[in-house]
């Protein structure tokens, strides 16, 4: 597919995933708390990469005024995100609660790198809620408008 998840976002997901895997191997309460985060985060990331993030790869082309052919797939993705938005936000709440426990455990065990990780992942979820999810949904609305002309 010509249009895919923007590389910056793909790398951010990979980096967060890698750090979380490290945390699950850190031993003690940190590892235990990290495993709870991973259990909630993994299926969530898969869904995002399936339908929330790929439409964002269209942004540069759309901003140049181009609507490339074959947009039906992206419209399906943005519709899926729109329908599942409440569920996605709820998953963020579960992830944030688990991150709170991970931050507490990391502080207690003086593993400050994992405290910073929890801050990074928290901010990632916030960026998605404030910018990325709405942008992806808006792309769908835009494609609908363009398609009806
Ligand atoms: Fe994400
Ligand atoms: Fe997310």
Task: Please tell me the number of Cα atoms within 13 Å of 73 on its side-chain side.
Answer: 14
Is residue 2 one of the residues assigned to a domain? Answer: no
Distance 124 CA to ligand 1 centre (A): 6
Is residue 16 one of the residues assigned to a domain? Answer: yes
Is residue 81 one of the residues assigned to a domain? Answer: yes
pTM of the predicted structure, to 2 decimals: 0.94
Distance 149 CA to ligand 2 centre (A): 33
Whether the CB-CB separation of 45 and 21 falls below 8 Å is answered with no
Distance 69 CA to ligand 1 centre (A): 27
Is residue 28 one of the residues assigned to a domain? Answer: yes
Is residue 121 one of the residues assigned to a domain? Answer: yes
Distance 87 CA to ligand 1 centre (A): 14
pLDDT digits (tens, 9 = 90+) for 11-53: 999 999 999 999 999 999 999 999 999 999 999 999 999 999 9
Distance 94 CA to ligand 1 centre (A): 14
Structural domain range at position 18: 7-147
- The tokens describing 67, both together, are 């609507």
Helix, strand or coil for residue 17? helix
pLDDT digits (tens, 9 = 90+) for 49-101: 999 999 999 999 999 999 988 899 999 999 999 999 999 999 999 999 999 99
Is residue 1 one of the residues assigned to a domain? Answer: no
Separation between Cα atoms, residue 73 and residue 100, nearest integer Å: 37
Q: Where are the beta strands (DSSP E) in 3-148?
A: none
Task: Please tell me the number of Cα atoms within 13 Å of 118 on its side-chain side.
Answer: 23
């Amino acid at each position: 597919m010509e249009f895919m998840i923007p590389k910056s976002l793909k790398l951010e997901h990979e980096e967060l995933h890698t750090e979380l895997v490290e945390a699950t191997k850190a031993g003690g309460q940190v590892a235990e708390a990290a495993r709870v985060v991973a259990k909630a985060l993994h299926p969530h990331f898969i869904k995002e990469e399936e339908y929330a993030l790929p439409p964002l790869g269209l942004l540069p082309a759309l901003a140049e005024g181009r609507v490339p052919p074959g947009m039906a797939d992206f419209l399906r993705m943005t519709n899926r995100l729109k329908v599942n938005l409440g569920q996605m936000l709820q998953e963020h709440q579960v992830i944030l609660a688990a991150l709170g426990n991970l931050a507490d455990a990391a502080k207690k065990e003086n593993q400050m790198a994992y405290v910073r990780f929890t801050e990074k992942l928290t901010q990632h979820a916030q960026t998605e809620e404030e910018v990325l999810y709405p942008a992806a949904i808006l792309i769908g609305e835009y494609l609908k408008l363009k398609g009806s002309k």
